[in-house]
Chain A
């Protein structure tokens, strides 16, 4: 009897998640790209409390305020990101959009166990991003509050006809009835890890 070696090739599927990385005050936050419907400037949003776009109304709020942080002043690079999850829509003001990044699931770590409060619901994990760390925001929590659609028409709204980034265009390809118009152009560039990302 002889032993016959057998070589098996194991193909490990590395799942990656595309994330939009933004600055919320001094904190680097990442949101799953598939909940992003558009990125608009403050000027486009106007002074209304909500933005109507792509057939939905997005109540606006500071992302920092969502975390209970004090209001921070916004600057020219500040943006509003329009998010949707199921029937829930929300627009969040952020201090800066840093870009898109594809992150392997294995690179996403849990929040250290020393954080034992509500932040464990807020953040699904963290990953190394450039020279710092990005916190992965839990989209279910982010969009899970104040989302009663019946309240939305009561808000003063600004209708935005020209919105969305090229990323949103990618997302919206599945919805041909609402073709987005690019306002922000995202330029692809490689980072040090050869991970594709996009920088404004």
Chain B
């Protein structure tokens, strides 16, 4: 006879790792698996476009990435003279996002601490308390 047994497994907590970065002084987070890297920002070439906030290309060697203007979407300006480029991985390929010059940090948080949200910002999938801030968590998977 098989019986159900409650054991120590019920106490296991799952965690996820977030990359916390800032744009226009606002702290944002995204899951590490959605980040392909962080580079120094290099000049982007504007692209005439009708796609919202997708308006440039950035070249790195042989690679050419579309630029998602998250700062414009958030209605802020990227801060710092030496801004950075966060590579967000999407289902349809990577894209570049210009972020503040503050070096992104890694934070391990419990899944249970993430409050899922549905709001106007379709990319914000939830919030999480990191330090003293309630940081929105963005997903760029598309």
Q: Is the interface of B mostly helix, strand, loop or mixed?
A: strand
Q: Which residue of B lies closest to A134 (CB)?
A: B45
Chain A residues numbered 108-151 whose CB sits less than 8 Å from any CB in chain B:
109, 112-119, 122-123, 126, 128, 131-133, 135
In contact, B47 and A117 (Cβ under 8 angstroms): no
Chain B contacts to A: CB under 8 angstroms:
45-51, 54, 57, 59, 62, 64-66, 68, 90, 92-93, 95, 142
In contact, A27 and B46 (Cβ under 8 angstroms): yes
A68 within 8 A of B: yes
In contact, A114 and B90 (Cβ under 8 angstroms): yes
16 A-B pairs with C-beta separation under 8 A: A25-B46, A27-B47, A27-B48, A68-B50, A109-B64, A114-B92, A114-B142, A115-B51, A115-B66, A117-B50, A119-B48, A119-B49, A119-B51, A122-B48, A123-B47, A128-B59
Rounded to whole angstroms, the CA-CA distance of A131 and B59 in the bound complex is 8
| Residues in A neighbouring B142, C-beta threshold 8 A | 114
Rounded to whole angstroms, the CA-CA distance of A69 and B49 in the bound complex is 9
B41 to chain A, nearest CB (A): 15
Rounded to whole angstroms, the CA-CA distance of A28 and B54 in the bound complex is 17
Q: Which residue of B lies closest to A29 (CB)?
A: B48
Chain A contacts to B: CB under 8 angstroms:
25-28, 64, 67-69, 109, 112-119, 122-123, 126, 128, 131-133, 135
In contact, A117 and B49 (Cβ under 8 angstroms): yes
In contact, A132 and B45 (Cβ under 8 angstroms): yes
In contact, B46 and A126 (Cβ under 8 angstroms): no
In contact, B51 and A126 (Cβ under 8 angstroms): no
B69 to chain A, nearest CB (A): 12
In contact, A112 and B46 (Cβ under 8 angstroms): no
